[in-house]
Amino acid sequence: MDKVLLIGADVHDENVLTKFAVGRGAIATRSFRNNREGRQGLIRFFGEWAAQVGAQRSVFAYEASCCGYLLHDELVAAGSECYVLAPSKIERSPVQRRRQTDEKDAERILELLRGFVLAGNRLPAVWVPDLQTRDDREAVRARLDVGEKASTVKAQIQMLLKRGGMEKAEGVGGNWTQDHRRWLAQLGGEESPLGYGARTALNSLRRQLEALEAETRRLDRALEPLGESPRYAAQVEALTDLKGVRLLTALVFLTEMGNVLRFDNRRQVGAYVGLVPSSHESGEQADRKGHITRQGSARLRKVLCQAAWARIRHDAGTRLLHQRLVQKNPRKKKIAVVACMRQLAILMWHKTVGRIGRVAG
């Protein structure tokens, strides 16, 4: 068998700790700075080490994190193999979780890599999106983040009014209508029944909300060219034909799912978006289903939830599904919503795959 250099890395913002070995050989440790110079030093070091020991392959692995895929890209560009692992799929005992250190994490990844390369064991690697998909995600995620912040500020305003004992004046419409906003402006004035401190806080929150809503509109306009670009136009057109799905929901689905052709069936789609029940089975005990796994993108689940509620209101088929499941178990209405979310995700996958096939044909 050809010699192979195996490297497990624990990647942090400031440094990269590596554990490495040749095949089943002894394990060594080396640390590098996580900056351009440090990563290039890492690549040079293991290139020289591989040549010194006569290794024909160099295989890296590290856990996915907020540091992204930059190390993966640089290693692949240098001619090495690299796998990015899903932290949620790496089994750890309760003792290991309590005694977690960088060195133990790096060694655990190295052992997983050994099992994969030398014995053919399964490696919990994630799909690495291409550079264009990653760049598109940045714009879409920025829009979602601003929306989250605006929702947080709205909640802060509501709680501020509740603490002050303020209830909507007669004739004021629903929350965040023009009438409601004018009433909030009046509460921020000098004639308000609120005290000075509450008025100051309310006016600050109102200004924050106005700025966030203006930024939301700017980002919505910025996403329009992305939805019309050749790589998304056909799929966006197909997805927005569905009731409850608009441009933002379509783009979140397409950028978070990435290459939809990598999914073979609806079960894989449901599992990827984390909308399938967890399973508990032990010995004589029959298989029991628990809460959904919540694996994958929380951003995607959020927009699916919003779209599912819109479909429950406006799509007859989805409304019937929801009503049937609620009647079956009135105390667990969330299960019905989750089923509608899963149905929508699978339907969007079918629509996207069908449109890609048509364009390719």
Mean pLDDT of 28-45: 96
Helices 196-228 and 178-187 sit at what angle, rounded to 10 degrees?
Answer: 150
CA quadruple 113, 64, 300, 232: dihedral positive or negative?
A: negative
For 114-124, write each residue's pLDDT tens digit. 999 999 999 99
For residue 290, pLDDT over 80 is answered with no
For residue 285, pLDDT over 90 is answered with no
**What residues form DSSP beta bridges with 4?**
57
Q: Which of 301, 300, 324 is nearest to 312 (CA)?
A: 324
pLDDT at 168: 86
pLDDT at 287: 55
Band of residue 100 on the pLDDT scale cut at 50, 70, 90: confident
Per the prediction, the chain carries an average pLDDT of 91
For residue 332, pLDDT over 70 is answered with yes
Residue type at position 306: Q
For residue 142, pLDDT over 50 is answered with yes
For residue 170, pLDDT over 70 is answered with yes
With a CB cutoff of 8 Å and minimum separation 6, the contacts of 81 are: 57, 58, 59, 60, 75
The share of the chain scoring above pLDDT 70, in percent, equals 93
For 48-86, write each residue's pLDDT tens digit. 999 999 999 999 999 998 888 999 999 999 999 999 999
pLDDT at 360: 46
- Rg (C-alpha) for the chain, rounded Å, is 26
Quickly tell me which residue has 């003792």 as its tokens: 95
Mean pLDDT of 246-260: 96
Mean pLDDT of 223-237: 96
pLDDT at 247: 97
Phi, psi angle pair for 310, to nearest 5°? -65, -40
How many CB atoms within 10 Å of residue 178? Answer: 8
How many CB atoms within 10 Å of residue 239? Answer: 24
For 209-219, write each residue's pLDDT tens digit. 999 999 999 99
pLDDT at 108: 94
Query: Two tokens at 194?
Result: 């609120």
17 vs 192, residue with greater confidence: 17
320 vs 100, residue with greater confidence: 320
pLDDT at 288: 55
CA angle 309, 310, 315 (to 5 degrees): 105
CA angle 212, 217, 223 (to 5 degrees): 120
pLDDT at 286: 54
For residue 323, pLDDT over 70 is answered with yes
Band of residue 283 on the pLDDT scale cut at 50, 70, 90: low
Of the candidate ranges 50-59, 92-101, 125-134, 305-314, the one whose mean pLDDT is the lowest: 92-101
For residue 361, pLDDT over 80 is answered with no
pLDDT at 330: 87
Residue type at position 231: R
C-alpha pair distances (Å), 339 with each of 49, 276, 348? 52, 9, 14
